């Protein structure tokens, strides 16, 4: 599963084969190469992701 990094995306979960988020249309590959798989934690200032 790939996660959309758009903080306002209503449904950030997407299939691994997609290049763009099905909910908001944001690009799912960072730097055209890296895919966010899961959020590791969260706080007021940051959302670490893997």
Question: What pLDDT was estimated at residue 35?
Answer: 93
Question: What pLDDT was estimated at residue 50?
Answer: 60
Question: What pLDDT was estimated at residue 29?
Answer: 94
Question: What pLDDT was estimated at residue 45?
Answer: 58
Q: What ranges do the domains of the chain cover?
A: 1-50
Question: What pLDDT was estimated at residue 21?
Answer: 97
8 Å CB contact between 16 and 4? no
State the Cα–Cα distance between residues 5 and 28, nearest whole angstrom: 7
State the Cα–Cα distance between residues 8 and 32, nearest whole angstrom: 21
**pTM for the whole structure:** 0.74
State the Cα–Cα distance between residues 24 and 11, nearest whole angstrom: 8
pLDDT digits (tens, 9 = 90+) for 1-50: 899 989 899 999 999 999 999 999 999 999 999 998 877 766 665 566 66
């Amino acid at each position: 599963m790939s996660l959309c990094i758009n903080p306002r995306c209503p449904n950030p979960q997407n299939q691994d084969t997609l290049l763009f988020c099905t909910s908001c249309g944001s690009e799912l590959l960072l730097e055209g190469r890296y895919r966010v798989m899961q959020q590791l934690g969260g706080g007021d200032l940051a959302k670490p992701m893997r």
